[in-house]
């Protein structure tokens, strides 16, 4: 009897150990996770060792100074994401029981969507009549689609619709499209504005990475106008692109409706429009019809405040 009880105890998952693993996996190092948890690295290391012993496999490989999840670790991470997201939702529900209900909206934002665009789209959600808790996650398009399919997200903001060959049952709602322009610091603008756009031949450029939907159109625009850009850097994170642009390291593209924001935040000067290049944005949901008032607020913000209809 005692032996059977011991076997049952050994087979149970220690969720505290799993939580420490989850924090280390997301932080990428014991030291960073320890700082976030307010514990010593030695304490967390001991807990992880116990978890690995209990399941009979290693969860991390050491690559340089960074801990990289093994195949088993990646499996554990996927489950841990769901477990602790559900735990957070349960905690919120219990805390709000008996109080005014809170409308929760969990949004995935693809890394190529400009942060200023995301801000303009999401801000109206916080002005709904209901109490709202907005939760934002940033990531790769394919990863966010998988999270949406298992309802870890309510909606995704993306620069492309779901592909026709996608097996997941997801729906793309056009938010609108916008013109693009080229921007630079005042010093660079003084050098390249006269004779635009031919003056840009050989100019230093900061461009979105090739996984951005608009990149192919930008490359075609350069070729059409006989412009050979000196590509200094390419970025998946548009906020990082804008920051490098604000430092005067190159000319960079951005959505034309953001001209005032770029001038205020980065002292960026508009050199001129990029003819025939347009950027589209979509809200992707698991429902064909939008029911969530927060997603409807995003759709209205796109079509009424920021973009032209697709």
**For the segment 268-306, what is each residue's pLDDT rounded down to a tens digit?**
999 999 988 999 999 999 888 888 999 999 988 887 767
Q: What is the mean pLDDT of residues 21-28?
A: 87
pLDDT at 233: 96
CATH class for domain 82-176+282-306? alpha beta
SS3 290: coil
**pLDDT tens figures, 128-184:** 998 888 999 998 899 999 889 888 899 999 999 998 877 778 999 999 899 999 999
Instruction: Provide φ and ψ at 26, rounded to 5°.
Output: -75, -35
Query: Hey, CA dihedral for 259, 265, 269, 273, is it positive or negative?
Result: negative
Superfamily of domain 177-280: Periplasmic binding protein-like II (3.40.190.10)
CATH class for domain 2-77? mainly alpha
CA distance 310 to 306: 12
Who contacts 30 (Cβ-Cβ below 8 Å, separation ≥6)? 24, 41, 44, 45, 67
Q: Which carries the bigger pLDDT value, residue 218 or residue 291?
A: 218
Report residue 1's pLDDT band, with 50, 70 and 90 as the boundaries: very low
CA distance 161 to 199: 35
Closest CA to 119 of 290, 234, 209, 242: 242
CA 23 centroid distance within chain: 19
pTM confidence score: 0.67
* Type and span of the H or E element at 252: strand 252-255
Domain with CATH 3.40.190.10 in the chain: 82-176+282-306, 177-280
Domain with CATH 1.10.10.10 in the chain: 2-77
Helix %, strand %, coil % for the chain, to 5?
50, 25, 25
For residues 142 and 268, the answer to whether their CB atoms sit within 8 Å is no
Who contacts 124 (Cβ-Cβ below 8 Å, separation ≥6)? 297, 298, 300, 301, 305
Report residue 83's pLDDT band, with 50, 70 and 90 as the boundaries: confident
């Amino acid at each position: 009897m005692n032996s059977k009880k011991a076997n049952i105890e050994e087979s149970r998952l220690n969720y505290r150990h799993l939580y420490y693993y989850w924090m280390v996996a997301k932080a990428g190092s014991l030291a960073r996770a320890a700082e976030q948890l307010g514990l010593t690295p030695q304490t967390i290391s001991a807990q992880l060792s116990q978890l690995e012993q209990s399941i009979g496999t290693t969860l991390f490989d050491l690559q340089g100074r960074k801990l990289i999840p093994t195949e088993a670790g990646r499996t554990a991470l996927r489950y841990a994401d769901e477990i602790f997201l559900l735990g957070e939702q349960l905690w919120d529900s219990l805390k709000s029981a008996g109080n005014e209900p809170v409308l929760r909206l969990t949004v995935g934002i693809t890394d190529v969507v400009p942060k200023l665009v995301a801000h303009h789209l999401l801000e109206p959600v916080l002005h709904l009549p209901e109490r709202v808790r907005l939760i934002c996650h940033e990531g790769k398009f394919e990863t966010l689609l998988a999270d949406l399919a298992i309802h870890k997200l309510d909606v995704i903001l993306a620069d492309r619709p779901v592909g026709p060959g996608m097996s997941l049952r997801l729906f793309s709602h056009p938010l609108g499209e916008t013109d693009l322009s080229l921007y630079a610091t005042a010093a660079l603008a003084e050098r390249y504005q006269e004779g635009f756009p031919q003056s840009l031949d050989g100019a230093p450029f900061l461009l979105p990475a090739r996984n951005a939907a608009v990149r192919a159109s930008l490359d075609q625009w350069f070729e059409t106008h006989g412009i050979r850009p000196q590509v200094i850097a390419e970025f998946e994170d548009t906020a990082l692109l804008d920051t490098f642009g604000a430092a005067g390291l190159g000319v960079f593209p951005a959505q034309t409706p953001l001209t005032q924001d770029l001038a205020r935040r980065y002292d960026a000067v508009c050199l001129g429009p990029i003819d025939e290049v347009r950027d589209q944005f979509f809200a992707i949901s698991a429902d064909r019809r939008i029911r969530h008032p927060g997603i409807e607020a995003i759709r209205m913000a796109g079509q009424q405040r920021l973009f032209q209809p697709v």
